[in-house]
Amino acid sequence: MSTSENQRKPRVIDVALQAGVSTATVDRVLNGRPGVRAKTIKKVLDAMDRLGASTARPRVIPSVPAGLTIDVVLAEGAGFANDVLSSELKTYCERVGFSYRRTFSKRMVPEALRRTLDECMERGTDGVIVQPLEHPLVRDAIARLANAGVPVVCILTDLPASDRLAYVGLDNRAAGRAAGLLTGRLCSDSGDLALFAGGELYRSHEEREAGFRSVIRDSFHHLGILATFSSGDDPQRIYVMARDLLKDCDNLRGICCIGGGNRGIEKALLESGRQKQIVYCAFNLTPLTRNGLLSGIFDVVVHQDMERAAHTAVDSLVHHFEGNAPSPGTIPTELIMVENLR
């Protein structure tokens, strides 16, 4: 076998670590893209020469995550669960050696999210973890990142038609079916159910709604489902919707909130005095939903472990940089009632 066949072509991540630059910078140099200083180009080319002269990967090299910058882009003001996720992502990124950079994008505004993702690429990023919106502008921004060699992990809600590396979160259709099954079984009398969603741009909410409706339709013929209330995860807006619903619908038997804004529903229920008569299913265990379970306002909470989601998302990037497949991204659906509350 010839010497050239013995020599292994350096991986982009190895060149980046050897040169002390980001993988995005290496990609720009390799593809002749503008915006890289001559000094940096020389560092990249020298690193390639050093690595190319060896028949094996270099031994004196930092661990894969060392020095790499990961951008985390989450929805602005999305509530306690997202705050926990953000904190866990920061902690775990720092633990494995990533440089962590977080941005909150304006909620439910695709143009703002596209702009934020473009800014991540412009200032140089090695990987992105994003809570995406289902919109062509967002898919296009993810495609640009992927074309530049930047891996993107979707978290909590998926965008399967995009060029993302992986999705980490619930099987949301199954979670919606679980919520529907429990709500249906707890509602013994005939009547109507109400669904509150955060917004039509979250694929996760769309899938939860589809799962919930399919179970009620197939298995609980004594229950009907009203048109979905879309609140944008705004507690005040959802409060007004719930207040008016409780005034107008005497045969309301259950409520399922598949997004945020539970504080508004809880307030409306307490004002109506019907909190013991209406089954209430929510998503994500927070101080609010925990206290609601203890007080009997909430009956069941469908939960996903944010610490596990954060670790899985970061591990997916680590595995990618190591040249391996990303971690399996499905987070188990937990059903929490007052008797198994932790």
**162 and 97 in a common domain:** yes
Angle at 142 (CA atoms; ends 136, 146), nearest 5 degrees? 140
**225 and 265 in a common domain:** yes
pLDDT for 153-190, tens place per residue? 999 999 999 999 999 999 999 999 999 999 999 999 99
- Cα dihedral 100→102→334→301 (10° resolution): 150
Q: Establish if 196 belongs to a structural domain.
A: yes
**285 and 197 in a common domain:** yes
CATH no. for residue 28? 1.10.260.40
Question: In 3-state terms, what secondary structure has residue 165?
Answer: coil
Higher-pLDDT residue of 97, 297:
297
**267 and 178 in a common domain:** yes
pLDDT for 222-234, tens place per residue? 999 999 999 877 8
Structural domain of 44: 3-52
Q: Phi/psi zone of residue 252: left (φ > 0), alpha (ψ -120 to 50 degrees), beta?
A: beta
Number of domains in the chain: 3
**278 and 162 in a common domain:** no
Q: Establish if 134 belongs to a structural domain.
A: yes
**212 and 162 in a common domain:** no
Instruction: Burial-class residue 258 by CB neighbours within 10 Å (0-12, 13-18, 19+).
Output: buried
This prediction has a pTM of 0.82
CATH no. for residue 191? 3.40.50.2300
**15 and 119 in a common domain:** no
Pairing of strands 300-303, 279-283: parallel
Q: Establish if 62 belongs to a structural domain.
A: no
- Please provide the average confidence, as pLDDT, over all residues in the chain: 90
User: Contact at 8 Å (CB) between 180 and 256?
Assistant: yes
**272 and 194 in a common domain:** yes
- Cα dihedral 52→56→60→61 (10° resolution): 70
